[in-house]
């Protein structure tokens, strides 16, 4: 199964991954519209953490032994059969936040759409490489 | 094997039993597993309030753990007695089941105090699907507007949320000086009360119901200890649950607050295991024995029990009370010791108008955490609690708005995820 | 069947070698890009005088190490791991003067690589204090050959100055297997400007003179000549080879491949591109994997262009072009220049 690898030694903290993730997960898929016309603004599922010169973009690690899946009380959080990603079925999610408190990386967020749901990296579905990896200008993320 | 015989018997079939069956199947592909449940079939019990509030369509659990486990379910049956020496369980329909190993995972039953008038219509407890269905039916039959919820605990608040979704006029009565007494401190409760007030919920603390007033067998008002009278068409009593252990009375299995188990989840009778809300386990942080009735620990205990039932010795590390809830757009996460005794503990607090965050530390270890409002990073702290990682090197960064994995020691952060190349 | 035992040789797939840029003057990531590209293309990368970081030992097959006046980081393993050893006598950017790496740039990693205390200035003296004659040079050349078991070629790098031909001749007689000549204005941004811009002579003039002198003395075959200084395109490589070089060193061109914008602020240690800096905020801007790809691209493109040009000249191998000045013609040069270069005026026949 392919995973997103983080190369912190090359991350320059430009946060293009965050922008591209947000756009990818917006309704329009257009950068200006996503930022200016969609309310509430779509959420980026990747976040750059910084400390001094060290920085890295962190998104769901898609753990093999995923506590968010075990602790999900509806079964909404599940493993995608195709790419092995840990994904949240938004139709089943009720926003109980069990996944948030289980995640040792702090990469699940609350999102308010028609109802509240858990928002997390879905490896951009099955359309090839995730947006954060494709758009990283310094190849600090790789998908292999 | 005849119908009356099984290798593994699961008494009660909810989350602890599911994971137990799952673990059993890792070690034993063919042994017969029978599950006895009072319910129609498996469903996710915490979902009932969400279904009542129409947040989701049904209570089914759609996770993948059922797919391979091949468990025979005996629905609408109860185990009324267990003979641990002969390994026989007597069911409510009179039949016996002989088993080799059994898991007791009967969960909790609601505490319902003897308040005058409690036998009338319109007064409910709310812990299972049947409760949800009867409340739903009642609400369809009667135009209930005023709802009184007794108990500002976890179930009370989730009920409250379901009623908020139905646009009811809600009063929440809590005996303690704060809501969610085990999850929050008084300051955290203040944030929650503010959110509830904003959503139109009327909260009455340090008071309780002493009388249900009725008219032709139907609830009309409740009378509080303080003498207040509140109109009520429907009341939900949710002051807590206790382990469902009545059927073990003559079995000889040691029961204290809950069923006493060792670190392999085995009860005082060999071959009988227990997991979930019915058990009393050692607390991960304090070492005290108590009942921790939360989903994640039911999962852990069920898994541990299943492994040990098939001969794979795995020890349980101890239970950590953790919980999360959102009421009135206010999310909350709490874990461990949130109201520490005065000595030896230190607390760090960060708060603003909307958010309240508190960590309880002892000897450089995180012992408790409360998050109200912004909760996204709470899992990091809870994991630190579980791993018992000393915080001395990043103590000053705790609760920093930008606190994240990057503040943790590199060799620790690199090994949270097992798997080549996916470390952080 | 040739019975003669050949002196140790370096084999290159392309007559282009990365010139000496030390770890210290350039960043770890830049150096890594160079060694990885050298390996991929099948050429060499020169370590410069700053020693060799242990991380790069696995690439030893594609590394030429330098022994310079400061002797930084020189130890038996350093000599043994490399494919060739170069004694640096002079440098085109600053002939006749030494080097100075300020103490602030000597981080712990660099101090370990150079074998000097952290935070201390790294001063390369102007002369080698043990070399005051060709005979002294001979002793060092053979000391190195002795240390490496006569298995590795030894190169002597000199700056192009007025009597470069005599010096080159002396170096070969001292036992050098390769003579590297560095022309005026090597591309560094960290040399005193007056020296950088004024001391030394253009490389093509120096090269033609050296080649001519070595031929006259009958020792051209005893060493390869590698030139450096201002090689900017594949055309420059072709011209250099036709003037008598065996290969060229590229430094600035490679850095431009890595992203260098020639701002000439290398001496500040604040290179925006993460090349000539040790600032951890800046060095991470250069991902060596991307850098390697770019360098490989550069060399591959130059290689293809050179093949095209060879085809155009009707020469079927690069060896046939070496020293073949008949393939060159001059336009706009004075008679004296043409005479020194040994090149005929455009339009003149055989």
Distance separating alpha carbons of residues B252 and B85, to the nearest angstrom:
10
Inter-chain contact C289–A139, Cβ cutoff 8 Å?
yes
Q: Per CATH, which fold does C16-345 belong to?
A: TIM Barrel (3.20.20)
**DSSP symbols for B235-251:** EEE-S-EEE--GGGTTT
CA distances from C295 to B82, C60, C298, C305 (A): 77, 18, 5, 15
Mean pLDDT in residue range B174-187: 93
CATH level 3 topology of A64-120:
Alpha-Beta Plaits (3.30.70)
A15 touches chain B (CB under 8 A): no
CB B178 within 8 A of CB B184: yes
Q: Of the given ranges (A121-130, B123-132, B310-319, B358-367), which has the lowest mean pLDDT?
A: A121-130
Q: From CA B271, how far away is CA B86, in angstroms rounded?
A: 11
Q: Is the pLDDT of residue B16 over 80?
A: yes
Q: Judge whether A58 and A52 are in contact, CB under 8 Å.
A: no
Label the pairing between strands B356-362 and B365-372.
antiparallel
Q: Is A123 on the interface with B (CB under 8 A)?
A: no
Q: So what's the pLDDT on residue C185?
A: 73
What pLDDT sits at residue B332?
95
Domain pair B112-239 / B331-413, same fold: no
How far apart, in whole angstroms, are the C-alpha atoms of residue C220 and residue C212? 9
Q: What is the pLDDT of residue B421?
A: 58
B1 has pLDDT over 60: no
B-chain residues near A56 (CB < 8 A): 406, 424
Residue range B372-386: mean pLDDT, rounded: 94
Residue B228 pLDDT > 80, yes or no? Answer: yes
Per-residue model confidence as pLDDT tens for chain C (350 residues)? 667 777 888 999 999 999 999 888 899 999 999 999 999 999 999 998 889 999 999 999 999 999 999 899 999 999 999 999 999 998 888 888 888 777 877 888 888 888 899 888 888 888 899 999 999 999 999 999 999 999 999 999 999 999 999 999 999 999 999 999 999 877 676 778 888 888 899 999 999 999 999 999 999 999 999 999 989 999 999 999 999 999 999 999 999 999 999 988 888 889 999 999 989 999 999 999 999 999 999 999 999 999 999 999 999 999 999 999 999 999 999 999 999 999 999 998 87
The CATH architecture to which B331-413 belongs is 2-Layer Sandwich (3.30)
The average confidence (pLDDT) of chain B is 92
| CATH 3.30.70.20 domain residues, chain A | 1-59+126-144, 64-120
pLDDT the model gives residue A136:
96
| Closest residue in chain C to residue A56, using alpha carbons only | C284
**What is the CATH T-level fold of the domain A1-59+126-144, as seen in this structure?**
Alpha-Beta Plaits (3.30.70)
Mutant choice from C30, C282, C284 vs A, greatest count of A C-beta within 10 A: C284
Chain A nearest CA to B279, separation (Å): 18
pLDDT tens digit string along B122-154?
Answer: 999 999 999 999 999 999 988 889 999 999 999
Please judge whether A10 and C280 are an interchain contact, meaning their C-beta atoms are less than 8 angstroms apart: no
CATH homologous superfamily of B5-109+243-309: FAD/NAD(P)-binding domain (3.50.50.60)
pLDDT at C35: 97
**pLDDT given for residue B142 in this prediction:** 84
* Peptide bond between residue B91 and the one before it cis (omega within 30 degrees of 0): no
A115: burial class by Cβ within 10 Å (0-12, 13-18, 19+)?
middle
State residue B253 phi and psi, 5-degree precision.
Answer: -75, 135
Question: What is the DSSP-derived secondary structure letter of residue B255?
Answer: B
> Which helix H or strand E contains B422, and what residues bound it?
none
Q: What is the mean pLDDT of residues B100-118?
A: 93
Q: Is the pLDDT reported for residue B334 higher than 50?
A: yes
pLDDT tens digit sequence for B31-81: 999 999 999 989 999 999 999 988 888 899 988 887 767 899 999 999 999
Angle between helices C234-242 and C203-217 (to 10 degrees): 30
Average of per-residue pLDDT across B281-306: 94
Q: How far does CA A67 lie from the centroid of its chain?
A: 16
Q: What are the tens digits of pLDDT across the range A76-92? A: 999 998 888 999 999 99
Residues of A in contact with B376 (CB under 8 A): 100, 106, 108-110
CATH class of the domain at B112-239: alpha beta
pLDDT at A126: 74
Report the length, in residues, of chain C.
350
Quick check: A71 contacting B, CB < 8 Å?
yes
**Average pLDDT across chain A, whole number:** 93
Q: Which chains touch B (3 or more CB pairs under 8 A)?
A: A
- C182/C185 Cα distance (integer angstroms): 9
What confidence tier does B221 reach under pLDDT thresholds 50, 70, 90? very high
Three-state SS sequence of chain C: CCCCCCCCCCCCCCCEEECCCCECCECHHHHHHHHHHHHHHCCCEECCCCCCCHHHHHHHHHEEEEECCCCCCCCHHHHHHCCEEEEECCCCCCCCCCEEECHHHCCHHHHHHHCCCCCCCEEECCCCCCCCCHHHHHHHHHHHHHHCCCCCCEEEEEECCCCHHHHHHHHHHCCCCEEEEECCCCCCCCCCHHHHHHCCCCHHHHHHHHHHHHHHHCCHHHCEEEEECCCCCHHHHHHHHHCCCCEEEECHHHHHHHCCCCCCCHHHCCCCCCCCCCCHHHHCCCCHHHHHHHHHHHHHHHHHHHHHHHHHHCCCCHHHHCCCHHHCEECCCCHHHHHHHCCEECCCCC
| Selection from B379, B342, B383, B387 nearest residue B360 by Cα | B342
Domain locations along chain B = 5-109+243-309, 112-239, 331-413
Burial B43-79 (b: 16+ CB within 10 A, else e): bbbbbbbbbbbebbeebbbebebeeebebebbeebbb
8-state DSSP, A11: -
Residue B2 has pLDDT above 60, yes or no: no
Asked if the model's pLDDT at residue A94 lies above 50, the reply is: yes
Q: Is the pLDDT of residue B224 over 60?
A: yes
Do A69 and B322 lie within an 8 Å CB cutoff?
no
CA distance linking residue C249 with residue C187, whole number of Å = 12
């Amino acid at each position: 199964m392919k995973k997103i690898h983080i190369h912190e030694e090359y991350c320059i903290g430009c946060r293009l991954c965050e922008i591209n993730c947000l756009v990818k997960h917006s309704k329009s898929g257009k950068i200006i519209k996503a930022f200016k016309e969609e309310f509430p603004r779509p959420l980026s599922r990747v976040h750059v953490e910084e400390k001094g010169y060290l920085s890295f973009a962190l998104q769901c690690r898609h753990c093999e032994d995923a506590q968010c899946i075990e602790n999900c009380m509806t079964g909404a959080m599940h493993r995608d059969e195709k790419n092995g990603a840990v994904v949240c079925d938004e139709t089943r999610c009720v926003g109980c936040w069990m996944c948030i408190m289980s995640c040792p990386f702090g990469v699940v967020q609350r999102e308010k759409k028609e109802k509240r749901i858990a928002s997390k990296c879905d490896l951009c579905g099955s359309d090839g490489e995730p947006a954060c990896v494709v758009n990283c200008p310094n190849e600090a993320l790789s998908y292999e | 094997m005849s119908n009356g015989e099984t290798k593994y018997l699961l008494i009660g079939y909810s989350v602890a039993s599911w994971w137990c069956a799952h673990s059993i199947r890792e070690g034993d592909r063919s042994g017969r597993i029978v599950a006895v449940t009072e319910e129609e079939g498996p469903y996710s019990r915490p979902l009932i309030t969400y279904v009542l509030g129409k947040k989701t369509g049904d209570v089914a659990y759609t996770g993948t753990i059922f797919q391979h486990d091949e468990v025979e379910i005996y629905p609408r049956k109860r185990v009324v007695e267990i003979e641990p020496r002969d390994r026989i369980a007597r069911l409510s329909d009179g039949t016996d089941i002989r088993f080799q190993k059994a898991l007791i995972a009967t969960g909790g039953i609601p505490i319902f105090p003897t308040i005058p008038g409690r036998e009338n219509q319109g007064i409910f407890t709310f812990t299972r699907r049947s409760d949800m269905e009867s409340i739903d039916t009642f609400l369809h039959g009667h135009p209930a507007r005023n709802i009184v919820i007794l108990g500002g605990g976890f179930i009370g608040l989730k009920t409250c949320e379901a009623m908020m979704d139905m646009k009811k006029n809600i009063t929440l009565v809590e005996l303690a000086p704060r809501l969610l007494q085990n999850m929050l401190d008084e300051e955290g409760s203040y944030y929650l009360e503010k959110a509830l007030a904003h959503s139109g919920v009327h909260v009455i603390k340090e008071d309780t119901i002493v009388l249900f007033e009725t008219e032709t067998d139907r609830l009309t008002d409740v009378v509080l200890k303080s003498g207040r009278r509140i109109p009520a068409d429907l009341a939900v009593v949710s002051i807590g649950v206790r382990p469902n252990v009545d059927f073990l009375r003559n079995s000889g299995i040691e029961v204290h607050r809950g069923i006493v188990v060792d670190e392999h989840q085995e009860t005082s009778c060999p071959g009988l295991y227990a997991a979930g809300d019915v058990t009393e386990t050692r607390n991960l942080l304090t070492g005290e024995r108590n009942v921790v009735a939360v989903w994640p620990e039911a999962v852990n205990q069920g898994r541990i029990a299943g492994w040990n039932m098939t001969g794979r010795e795995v020890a349980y590390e101890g239970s950590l009370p953790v919980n999360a809830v959102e009421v009135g757009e206010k999310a909350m996460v709490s874990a461990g010791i949130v109201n520490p005794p005065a000595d030896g503990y230190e607390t760090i607090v960060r708060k603003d108008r909307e958010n309240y965050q508190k960590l309880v530390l002892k000897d450089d270890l995180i012992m408790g955490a409360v998050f109200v409002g912004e909760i996204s990073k709470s899992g990091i702290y809870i994991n630190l609690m579980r791993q018992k990682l000393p915080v001395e090197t990043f103590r000053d960064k705790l609760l920093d708005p930008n606190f994240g994995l990057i503040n943790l020691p590199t060799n620790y952060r690199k090994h949270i995820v097992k798997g080549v190349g996916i470390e952080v | 069947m040739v019975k003669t035992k050949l002196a140790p040789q370096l084999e290159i797939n392309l007559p282009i070698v990365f010139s000496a840029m030390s770890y210290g003057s350039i960043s770890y990531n830049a150096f890594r890009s160079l060694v990885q590209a050298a390996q991929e293309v099948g050429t060499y990368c020169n370590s410069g005088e700053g020693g060799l970081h242990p991380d790069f030992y696995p690439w030893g097959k594609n590394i030429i190490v330098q022994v310079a006046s400061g002797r930084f980081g020189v130890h038996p393993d350093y000599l043994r791991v490399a494919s060739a050893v170069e004694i640096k006598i002079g440098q085109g950017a600053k002939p006749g003067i030494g080097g100075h790496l300020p103490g602030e740039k000597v981080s712990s990693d660099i101090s370990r690589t150079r074998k000097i205390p952290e935070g201390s200035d790294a001063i390369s003296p102007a002369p080698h204090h043990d070399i005051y004659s060709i005979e002294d040079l001979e002793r060092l050349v053979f000391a190195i050959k002795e240390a490496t078991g006569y298995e590795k070629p030894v190169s002597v790098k000199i700056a192009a100055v007025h009597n470069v031909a005599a010096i080159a001749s002396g170096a070969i007689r001292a036992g050098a297997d390769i003579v590297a000549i560095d022309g005026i204005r090597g591309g560094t941004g960290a040399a005193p400007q007056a020296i950088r811009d004024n001391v030394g002579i253009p490389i093509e003039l120096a090269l033609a003179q050296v080649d001519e002198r070595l031929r006259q003395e009958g020792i051209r075959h005893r060493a390869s000549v590698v030139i450096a200084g201002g090689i900017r395109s594949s055309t420059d490589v072709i011209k250099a080879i036709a003037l008598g070089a065996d290969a060229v060193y590229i430094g600035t061109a490679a850095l431009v491949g890595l992203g260098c914008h020639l701002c000439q602020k290398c001496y500040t240690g604040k290179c925006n591109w993460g090349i000539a800096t040790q600032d951890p905020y800046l060095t991470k801007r250069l991902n060596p994997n991307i850098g390697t790809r770019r360098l490989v691209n550069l060399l591959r493109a130059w290689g293809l262009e050179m093949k095209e040009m060879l085809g155009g000249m009707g020469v079927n191998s690069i060896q046939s072009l070496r020293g073949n000045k008949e393939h060159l013609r001059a336009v706009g040069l004075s008679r004296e220049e043409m005479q020194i270069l040994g090149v005929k005026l455009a339009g003149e026949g055989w």
